[in-house]
Structure 1
Amino acid sequence: MSILGRLSFRDQAFRLRENAILDATTAVLASKGYDLMTMDDVAGAVGISKPSLYKHFKSKEELVGEAMIRLLDGALDFVAALDPALGPVAKLSALLEWALRVRLDGGLPFLPSTSAHVRDMLMRNVKYMLRVVKLNRQLEGFVKQAQQSGELNRELPPDVILFSYYARTCDPAVEFLQKYSKMAPDDVVRHMLTVCFDGFR
């Protein structure tokens, strides 16, 4: 039985509305950014009053924190569901493909990379940081395994590879390709994966 199936109708409605709020938050963040986003924007996008929004989330900081936590939970769930038989580079590639597809669908706002205020806010969020540390530890493990097997450059410090990998998830080339090229989303993802793992040669 699903989690929703075990909840009362009222609790199910509350949970579904909360998910709709987080969906709207993600969309507004992707289009306006943290500084310009208001609680009125989110309430309007969901079709509820601002007082109703505050019943779910007490502040913009809490709301954005929960949206980012949900995103990280999605990444952690994706990694956990990967076939254990896949090699480390295949796992890194699969996760990056997932992130790029979420991003092309407007579901991946890159707040920490664009705002010092948001970085500080999220670093104070214990739930968020626990997930960041867990995901980072797993990906660092994949990188080191790939270096040991010779699939990735052994001369590069693991952090250089790892943070360059993270940078691919917020590469502005994705937006330019989506907006100005005639490529289908599948082609954008395929080419970005090639650039990440094979370079330009």
Structure 2
Amino acid sequence: MPRGRYQQKQWEVREQAILDTLEVLSAERGFNTITMDDLATTVGISKATLYQHFPSKDEMVSRLLAQHEDRFLDWLDQIGSEPATVRLSHIMLYLLEGHVKPLQGPPGVEIENIMAVFERDRALVERHDEILKQLVAIIEEGQSGGTITPLLTPDAIIAAMFALSKLPEGIRHNPVPLDHIVLFFERAIRAE
């Protein structure tokens, strides 16, 4: 059934509320513990309405991951005119601030379930590959410009970025401020 502009806007707002709720509940208690009933109740809609928007939690996960990937790609475009080392520092801080961590929660089997959804969604995998290509291009630009050490491969630098971004909260925020981790990263990749 076709919807008018107002109805379409309501539909989109409700879908975003569902995705936001999934992300919040996941961070609070873990993705695997969340039921469709939990989501519907927390959003304030019926379970039937929830299913009109998303036929499954997997569909919600795909959409949420896509949103995070799209935001990251847009953000990479916004910093595209900066020098390579500055872009990498910005990216490191972006990662440390948790902008690329949808569905975070207690570790365990949850990541396996989320990765299974990710791997089944070709568009998600393609966006992820595009992100990695852009990161490699930034690193190679810095290496060819002599500002980033050629002793580290782009893959090693990217792996270090993601490893640093996964430091436990207590280590990242107290006593080590985020800008100190970024400074550590900058010094590690700097060409001598």
With structure 2 as the length reference, what TM-score do the two structures score? 0.82
Report the equivalent of 1:51. 48
Report the equivalent of 1:129. 125
Q: Does 1:176 align with 2:149?
A: no
Shift of 1:157: 2.0
C-alpha change, 1:47 and 1:189, in structure 2 (3 Å) is farther
For the Cα contact (< 8 Å) 1:65–1:122, is it kept in 2?
yes
Indicate the RMSD between aligned Cα atoms, in angstroms: 2.6
| Number of positions where the alignment pairs a residue of Structure 1 with one of Structure 2 | 182
Report the equivalent of 2:103. 109
1:26-45 to structure 2, matched below 5 A, reads: 26-45=23-42
Amino acid at match of 2:134: Q
Report the equivalent of 1:4. none
Q: Which residue, 157, 177, 194 being the options, matches 2:183?
A: 194
**Deviation per CA, 1:99-139, whole angstroms, max 9, x where unpaired?**
33345xx964358x962232122011112112101111101
Amino acid at match of 1:17: R
Shift of 1:12: 0.4
C-alpha change, 1:95 and 1:157, in structure 2 (3 Å) is closer
Q: Does 1:153 align with 2:142?
A: no
For the Cα contact (< 8 Å) 2:140–2:154, is it kept in 1?
yes
**Deviation per CA, 1:9-45, whole angstroms, max 9, x where unpaired?**
0000000111111111111222223222222232233
2: CA distance, partners of 1:83 / 1:12 = 32
1:68-79 to structure 2, matched below 5 A, reads: 68-79=65-76
Name which structure has the greater RCO, CA cutoff 8 Å, separation 6+.
2
Structure 1 alignment gaps of length 5 or more: 1-6
Structure 2 alignment gaps of length 5 or more: none
